[in-house]
């Protein structure tokens, strides 16, 4: 889970809200307007550089959805969270955290959801909002099983309670087995690449960071934060060089 920067509200959404300004329109109403709905989904995915806002799996046309951080059930005519652009995030479809092969597997255990399905209608002051996170990495990972954990030092540095980071992991189900397994594959692959003793480790970390993260003009690789953690200082130098801001 990483910081998410949002672009300006899509013109289609602005026009939709202006057209129905005298009516209390819900998300279900907007979804019937395909142009507006697609503009929202496409802009969110582009803003997030193709990653689910919670688990950081890659988003595709067939496995993406829109999550309202503050549940739509809290909407009122005075404050309509359904249509609030700043309340929308692109996430993976339930049960979440699926790779391309999983999408074809109807036998997947839907009793271990993650991301939006796990969060469901929960809104709590402890739950971290990707739109309000610092650009600093707040999480670390186990090289034994791919588990995500709060980085206590990083949380303290930016004034985020470690308990809130742990609560977020639990509420979003970010340690369901399939996510841990897939993170572990990434960790092991990069660890093998770091075994090249012909290159100084600092240079190698930065070289690999450049290969994985590019120049910030294309989509991020899945598990961005996991890769950032493995590559350590080299990743931070490269991200600084490309003026990474979220």
Residue 60 CA: distances (Å) to CA of 6, 86, 92, 98, 175: 19, 22, 9, 11, 22
Residue 154 CA, distance from chain mean position: 18
Integer-rounded Cα Rg, in Å, for the chain is 19
Which residue stretches of the chain are H helix? 11-19, 27-31, 34-47, 115-119, 152-158, 162-171, 177-193, 201-213, 224-241
Place of tokens 């129905």: 20
- Residue 97 and residue 113: Cα distance in Å, rounded? 8
Using a 10 angstrom Cβ sphere, with 0-12 exposed, 13-18 middle and 19 or more buried, the burial of residue 205 is: buried
State the pLDDT at residue 118.
85
State the pLDDT at residue 245.
82
Residues of the chain scoring pLDDT < 70: 101, 103-110, 121, 123-124
Q: From its phi and psi, is residue 243 left (phi > 0), alpha (psi between -120 and 50) or beta? A: left
Q: At how many degrees (to 10) do helices 177-193 and 224-241 cross?
A: 50
C-beta atoms surrounding 32 within 10 Å: 8
Q: Contact, 56 vs 222, CB < 8 A?
A: yes
Q: Which residues contact 151 (CB under 8 A, 6 or more apart)?
A: 137, 138, 139, 140, 165
State the pLDDT at residue 110.
66
State the pLDDT at residue 103.
64
State the pLDDT at residue 84.
97
Strand-pairing partners, residue 90, are 66
Q: Contact, 57 vs 97, CB < 8 A?
A: yes
Cα end-to-end distance, the chain, whole Å: 11
State the pLDDT at residue 117.
86
């Amino acid at each position: 889970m990483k910081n998410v920067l949002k672009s300006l509200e899509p013109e289609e959404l602005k026009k939709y809200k202006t057209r129905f300004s005298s009516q209390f329109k819900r998300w279900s109403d907007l979804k019937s307007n395909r142009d507006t709905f697609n503009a929202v989904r496409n802009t969110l995915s582009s803003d997030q550089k193709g990653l689910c806002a919670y688990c950081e799996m890659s988003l595709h046309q067939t496995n993406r959805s829109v999550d309202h951080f503050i549940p739509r059930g809290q909407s009122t005519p005075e404050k309509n969270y359904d249509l609030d652009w700043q309340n929308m995030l692109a996430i993976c479809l339930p049960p979440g955290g699926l790779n391309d092969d999983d999408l074809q597997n109807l036998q997947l255990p839907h009793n271990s959801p993650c991301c939006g399905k796990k969060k469901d209608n929960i809104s709590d002051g402890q739950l971290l909002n990707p739109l309000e996170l610092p650009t600093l990495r707040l999480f670390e990972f186990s090289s034994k099983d791919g588990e995500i954990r709060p980085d206590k030092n990083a949380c303290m540095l930016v004034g985020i309670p470690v308990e809130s980071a742990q609560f977020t992991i639990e509420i979003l189900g970010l340690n369901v087995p399939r996510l841990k397994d897939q993170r572990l594959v990434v960790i092991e692959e990069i660890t093998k690449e770091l075994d090249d003793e012909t290159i100084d480790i600092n240079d190698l970390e930065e070289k690999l960071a450049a290969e994985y993260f590019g120049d910030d003009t294309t989509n991020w690789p899945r598990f961005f934060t996991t890769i950032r953690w493995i590559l350590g200082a080299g990743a931070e130098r490269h991200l600084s060089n490309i003026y990474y801001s979220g």
